[in-house]
Chain A
Amino acid sequence: MQTPNHLALTKIFKQKTALVIDDFPDMRGSIRRMLITFGVENVDTAANGEDAFAKCKENTYDLIVADYNLGNSKNGQQILEELRHKHMLKNTSIYMMVTAETTKSMVFSALECQPDDYLTKPFTQTVLQKRLTRLILEKEALYAINQSIDNLNFDQAIDLCQQRIEEKDKYEFRCKKLKGNCLIQKKRFKKAKELYEQVLDERNVEWAAIGLGKAQLALGDIDQAESTFSNLIANGCLCMEVYDYLADIKNRKGFAEEAQSILQSAIEVSPFSIPRQRMMAQISEGNNCFGDAEQAHRKVIKLSQNSVYESPEHHFKLARCIATDISQNGLKDNKRLKEAQEVIRLCKRKYKSNKDVNLQSEAVLANVMASAGQKEKSQQAIEHVESQAGDMKTQTVALQLEMARSYMVAGQREKAHELLVALAEKHADDPDICDAIDQISDEPLTAKGKQKAIELNDKAKQLFANKEYEKAVSLFGQALTHYPNNIGLNLNFILALVRKMGSTGASQEELDRCNAARDRISHITDSHALHERYQVLCKHLEKLSKSFEAEKA
C-alpha cells in the first residue's frame, strides 16, 4: 500500500473536515478513529439529527459519514434532505450513508437527495478507506462541475459536463446525470428529454427514467409522463418524487381521488416533504376530505417552522379549510369554530408586529364566522378590516385577495367581484395573482383565465361532438383544478360525466365526482343564466344515482 499514490492520498485526507453521525457511541468512535488513521485531522461527531444540524451550522464539512438508522431521531436520509434543502451541504462535499441493509430499502424523496454512496455494515477500515478515496478522487475530477452547480451557474456546468462526457472516461455516465439535472434546472426540457432518451436507449437506469418523466411533463406530454412514472412505481422505484408527479398528473386529469390516495401512500413512507403535504392539503380539500386536508395543513405549519417555507398563509389555509368544512357540512356545534379561531389567534400572536398579517387574519376570521352562520360578527370583522386597511392603493395584494374571499363567503358577491376585477386589471401580468383571482371568483376574470376558458370550451365542444366523453371529462377535470368555482365549467363537467355513464354504465366514483361538482355550485340562484341547466342536470344525476343504487341492490 505504501505507494507514492498513498502519500498523495494522505495529503488529500489531511485537508478534509469530517463529521460522523451515528447514535451508537462505539460505532461513532470507531469510524472517527478510522478517519483519523486516514489522515483527517478535523473529525467532529454527532449522535442525532439535531446535533448534526448544530455542527453543520458552525462548520462546512467536506465529508459526512452518517448512519441511516439513528434511533428515534431523524434518519440519515432525512438529515441529508434537510441539509440539501437549507444549502448546508455543498455538491463538492461527500455524504456517505452507512446502512445495515444489503437490499434497496432506503427511501429518497427526490432525485437530488441521494447520498454520494452507501456503505453496508459491517465494513473494515480498508474498505472505508477505499470507498472514500474513490469518492474523493471523483469529487476532485468533477470539482469544477459541482462548484458551478453550487454557484447556480448551470450553463457553465452544462458546458463542463459536455466536455467531460466527450472524454469518454469512467465519469461519462456520472456527467450525463449531472448534465440532465442542470438542463432541467435551466428549463431546457427538450434537450433534457433527448439526453435521457439516449441514456435509456443504452441502459434502463432509474435516474434517467425519472428525468425523462419530468421533461415529458414539463413539455406537456402528460400521457407519456404518466406512463413513465407509472412504470417506475410498478418497478419498485423508491423515489417519492415520482409519486408526487404521478399524483399531480392524476389531479390535472381530474382524477382527484386517485391523486389523493397516491399522495397518501407517499406520505406514509415519507411524511416530511412540505410540497407533498401542501399538495395533499389542496387535493384532499377539493375532494371534500376535510379531515385529511386539515391534517396536511397542520403538518405544513409544523414542518415549515423556522424554515424558508414559513408563512402566515399556511395558517390562513388551515382556518379556511375548517371554515369550508363547517359550511359544507352544516356543522352547528361550536367546536370546529373554536378550532378555527384558535388557528387565527396563534397566527396573530406569531406575527404580532406585522400589521398586514393581522388584518389578513381578521379577514380570514370574517370568513370563518360567516361560514358558521354568525353573520353579524362576520360583518363586524369585515368593517373593522375596511376601516383599518386604509386606501386601496396602499393595501397589499394578499390582503385584498383575503377580503375578496371573505366578501364571497359572506354573500357580498358584488363587492368581491368589484375588488377582483380591479386586481385582475392591475396585475394582468402576474400569473400567480391571476390564478388566485380566478380561483376565488365564479367566472374567470383575468384575460388569461378568460382565454383559457374559451379554449377549453371549444376543445370540449369538439370532444362532445365526437362523443369522446372520457376525454372531455379529463379536460374539464383539468380546468376545474384552476377554476374550481366556475359554474359553467362545473356544469359541463357534470354533463360530460353523465353522458359518459350513459354510454359505459354508472360507477360510484363517477357519481361522487358529479355530486362534488354539484355541491360546489349549489349557491346558484334562479336569476342566474345557467340556473335552468343546473336544475336539469341535477335531475339527471338523481335519476342515475337511483338506478345505480337499484342495480347494486
Chain B
Amino acid sequence: MSDQQPVEFSMLLASSVHDVKNSLAMLIQSLEQLVEEDTSDERKSKYSILRGEASRINHTLIHLLGMYRLQTERLTVNLQEVYVTDFLEEQVASQQLLFDVNNISVVVDCDEDLTAFFDENLVAGIISNVLVNDAKYTKDSIRIEAKPTKSGGICIDVIDNGDGFPDSIIESTQSDTIDHSARGIDFSSGSTNLGLYFAQQIASLHQNKGTQGTIQLSNTESGGGKFTLRLP
C-alpha cells in the first residue's frame, strides 16, 4: 500500500467489477424472464449457452479480482458458520437453467443439520465454477456429497458421469501447490486453469488448528470426474 499507483488501480478494478456485475445481474435476470415467457426447446438451449457464458464471465471476474487481491494486499477470509445443505442447493439453483436445458440431474446429498465454517462467498466461487464446468462435460448427472470430517471440518465431493479429467490436469493438483507459472496457466492451449489455481489458493487460506484446506481432482471407478474440496 506504500506505492500510490496500485491503490488507484485497485479502486479502478473494484469499481469496474461493480459496474460489470450490475450489467451481468441485469443480463441474467432478463434472460431468466425470457426463458419463462418462451419455452421452446430450441430457444432454451440458446438461452442456456448465454447463461453459461454469463456465469463464466462472472467467474473470471471473481478470479481476476481475487488474484489481484492475493498478490497485492491480503485476501482475508471471512469465516462464518454456513448451513451446508442450503449453501450447496443455492449453488445448484444459481445454475439451474444450465442443468435443465442439458437434461442434467443434480443431487445434493448432505445432512440437513450439517454446518461448517468457511468464507461463503469465496467457496461459492469455487463450487459454482466446478458446476458450470461439469455442466459442459458430464453426460447426464452430477452428484454433490458433503460430509463432516473427523477433525471438525468438511469434505465436499462434486462427481459427474462424463469421461473424467485428463491425466495432466489431475497431476497438476497432486503437487503440493499448483504452480501456475510453470504449468497451471497455459495460454497457448486456451485453458488457463485459473479456476483451479484460484480454488487451490482459496482452499489453503482456510485454516484451523494447523491444518489447511485442499482441493483434489480424481476419476471415479465408472470413469467420471470427481472434484474434492476439503476444508478444516
Of all chain B residues, the one with the shortest Cβ separation from A104 is B78
**B145 in the interface (beta carbon within 8 A):** no
Residue of A121, A205, A236 touching B76 (CB-CB under 8 A): A236
From B28, B81, B112, name the one whose CB has the most chain A CB atoms within 10 angstroms. Answer: B81
Flag B68-95 by CB within 8 Å of A: 1 or 0 each.
0100001111111101001001100110
Flag B1-41 by CB within 8 Å of A: 1 or 0 each.
00000000000001001100110111111001000000000
Residue of A102, A170, A203 touching B65 (CB-CB under 8 A): A102
**A118 in the interface (beta carbon within 8 A):** yes
**A126 in the interface (beta carbon within 8 A):** yes
Tell me which residues from 271 to 325 in chain A have a Cβ below 8 Å from any Cβ of chain B. Answer: none
From A100, A101, A202, A206, name the one whose CB has the most chain B CB atoms within 10 angstroms. Answer: A100
Of all chain B residues, the one with the shortest Cβ separation from A118 is B121
Tell me which residues from 141 to 176 in chain A have a Cβ below 8 Å from any Cβ of chain B. Answer: 169-170, 173-174
Asked whether B89 lies within 8 Å of A130 as measured between CB atoms, the reply is yes
A504 contacts across to B, CB distance below 8 A: none
**A122 in the interface (beta carbon within 8 A):** yes
B83 contacts across to A, CB distance below 8 A: 134, 170
Residue of B26, B80, B93 touching A27 (CB-CB under 8 A): B26
Given contacts A122-B25, A170-B115, contact A100 B17 (CB under 8 A): yes
Asked whether B96 lies within 8 Å of A173 as measured between CB atoms, the reply is no
A126 contacts across to B, CB distance below 8 A: 93-94, 96
Query: What number of B residues sit within 8 Å (CB to CB) of A?
Result: 46
A353 contacts across to B, CB distance below 8 A: none
Distance, CA A501 to CA B32, complexed state (A): 72
Residue of B26, B79, B96 touching A205 (CB-CB under 8 A): B79
Asked whether A127 lies within 8 Å of B79 as measured between CB atoms, the reply is no
**A69 in the interface (beta carbon within 8 A):** yes
Asked whether A204 lies within 8 Å of B76 as measured between CB atoms, the reply is no
Asked whether B18 lies within 8 Å of A120 as measured between CB atoms, the reply is no
Distance, CA A211 to CA B152, complexed state (A): 23
Give the interface SS of chain A, mostly helix, strand, loop or mixed. loop
**B62 in the interface (beta carbon within 8 A):** yes
Asked whether A124 lies within 8 Å of B28 as measured between CB atoms, the reply is yes
Distance, CA A104 to CA B75, complexed state (A): 8
Flag B96-135 by CB within 8 Å of A: 1 or 0 each.
1000000000000000111101011110110000000000
Distance, CA A206 to CA B77, complexed state (A): 11
16 A-B pairs with CB atoms under 8 Å apart are: A27-B22, A30-B26, A100-B17, A101-B18, A103-B65, A103-B66, A103-B121, A121-B21, A122-B29, A125-B32, A169-B113, A170-B83, A170-B113, A173-B115, A203-B208, A238-B76
Interface residues of A (CB under 8 A from B): 24, 26-27, 30, 69, 100-105, 118, 120-127, 130-131, 134, 169-170, 173-174, 202-206, 235-236, 238
Interface residues of B (CB under 8 A from A): 14, 17-18, 21-22, 24-29, 32, 54, 58, 62, 65-66, 69, 74-81, 83, 86, 89-90, 93-94, 96, 112-115, 117, 119-122, 124-125, 152, 208
